[in-house]
A and B are shown apart, each in its own frame.
Chain A
């Protein structure tokens, strides 16, 4: 009987330890939120929240200082939109090809290769942008800046392409066979089945992949730091140098900013905006996917 008691104690100790492991992830989230909120509040003690959210000049490093975050958001959105313009058509077309046209053998070779593309470190994409894409752009647009939004958009687009392609392909392949067969039985061509049956049926899964991929582009750091420049400005010209939120955070961290200084606090305020944006997108993506799952279960 004594053996049974020690065994029971051991079991419950182990269970509690494992629960602690699972709670570590909750603690991480709490840590992120607390750290961001704490320093952001102390930032807003010095800079009015309205100026931060509506100001159109971002110049915390120079006198006179300006703390309008809009130029950074502008830069971030330019990259996200530019990347989406490249990745969405390519991603969805390759997803259609892999799901509806290719032989299983081709799919089994191409998908892992796309996964390799997704596994390449972002700093490598950054290098690729400045060493290959930017010179190429400057051949066609000679007065493009050395650092420009277009180059960064292109590599970020390449970076998120596998994500869109692979998630959309999953969504399309989970469209029930019966739907396709029904359409073929009515004499539809493969093209009609793909565009009129499969794409609409998989739409929410595809949309979820877009949102997720764009969220990834918003949070992308190394490629935009290397290729897009460090000049926060309100522009829509892709051939100019800009700055994203992430690139700004890196820029500050590379210098030696004293703890408690206003520059140090800007990291957290900008980080907060970034975190809120990506979180919102992830939630939207999950929500879309959740709705979609209800349809086919």
Chain B
């Protein structure tokens, strides 16, 4: 199995505050990797390094290396990088525009003219299991959708620019259980084509969807391995404490 993402000795700071300490981990292609840990442990910081979203924050800097398909992310223009590394956020954040425009924005800014758009919109919505619910009202405002639908729309929006990797930053924390299970099913479905990374504070979720799991604590990667192993037989004491709910 090849590594889609390689991280080597990654450290990161917000101003003077260190958020990541020497994180090294390789994430496998076409697998789902879950990142777990208590809040403030650096898990969100970590995945936001992968598409350089943290570049937008004043005073943020990193040390170490991140390779995406063997290319250093710092050598790639962030615009190109984010085209191949999509992201879905904690709170659904559709643009306050029509459903169609939400999906079409990405392909359009990457130079696709209007001809192919209809097909891309349909394809992306189908992949995100949303097509049946919205095909009749593509011109309605996306803000009118339910929370779960909005989040699937955001996934469809990310798929539309044809990424290879999709990052999920606690995608279900604002959703009800039914919407959550829809998103989890969707992630399993998407495994065939995409490498996925999910940050979650919900350990059952990590156990349900992921192949591999990394446990972060105070900015360090404490333990990383197959999800089954991490949840059944953690090697580290702190991992076990976190998983059985002794803290967090």
Binding site for B on A (CB under 8 A): 3-4, 7-8
A/B interface sample: 6 pairs, CB < 8 A: A3-B111, A4-B77, A4-B79, A4-B80, A7-B79, A8-B77
Q: Mark B66-95, 1 if CB is under 8 A from A, else 0.
A: 000000000001011000000000000000
In Å, the complex CA distance between A7 and B80 comes to 12
Interface size on B, residues (CB 8 A): 4
In Å, the complex CA distance between A184 and B111 comes to 64
Q: Tell me whether chain A's interface is mostly helix, strand or loop, or mixed.
A: helix
Q: Mark B90-134, 1 if CB is under 8 A from A, else 0.
A: 000000000000000000000100000000000000000000000
What is the distance, in angstroms, from A1's C-beta to the closest C-beta of chain B?
9
Chain A residues with CB under 8 A of B77: 4, 8
What is the distance, in angstroms, from B197's C-beta to the closest C-beta of chain A?
26
Chain A residues with CB under 8 A of B111: 3
In Å, the complex CA distance between A3 and B77 comes to 12
Closest to B111 in A: A3
What is the distance, in angstroms, from B97's C-beta to the closest C-beta of chain A?
22
What is the distance, in angstroms, from B230's C-beta to the closest C-beta of chain A?
40
Chain B residues with CB under 8 A of A3: 111
In Å, the complex CA distance between A180 and B62 comes to 46
In Å, the complex CA distance between A95 and B77 comes to 54
Chain B residues with CB under 8 A of A7: 79
Closest to B77 in A: A4
Closest to A11 in B: B79
Chain B residues with CB under 8 A of A4: 77, 79-80
In Å, the complex CA distance between A4 and B77 comes to 9
Q: Mark B37-80, 1 if CB is under 8 A from A, else 0.
A: 00000000000000000000000000000000000000001011
In Å, the complex CA distance between A8 and B111 comes to 14
In Å, the complex CA distance between A3 and B110 comes to 9
Chain A residues with CB under 8 A of B80: 4
Chain B residues with CB under 8 A of A8: 77
What is the distance, in angstroms, from A135's C-beta to the closest C-beta of chain B?
56
Closest to B80 in A: A4
What is the distance, in angstroms, from A263's C-beta to the closest C-beta of chain B?
53
In Å, the complex CA distance between A7 and B111 comes to 11
In Å, the complex CA distance between A224 and B101 comes to 56
What is the distance, in angstroms, from A103's C-beta to the closest C-beta of chain B?
33
Chain A residues with CB under 8 A of B79: 4, 7
What is the distance, in angstroms, from A7's C-beta to the closest C-beta of chain B?
7
Q: 5 smallest A-B Cβ distances: which pairs?
A: A3-B111, A4-B77, A4-B80, A4-B79, A7-B79
In Å, the complex CA distance between A234 and B80 comes to 73
In Å, the complex CA distance between A7 and B83 comes to 15
In Å, the complex CA distance between A8 and B79 comes to 10
In Å, the complex CA distance between A189 and B77 comes to 64
In Å, the complex CA distance between A4 and B79 comes to 9
Closest to B110 in A: A3
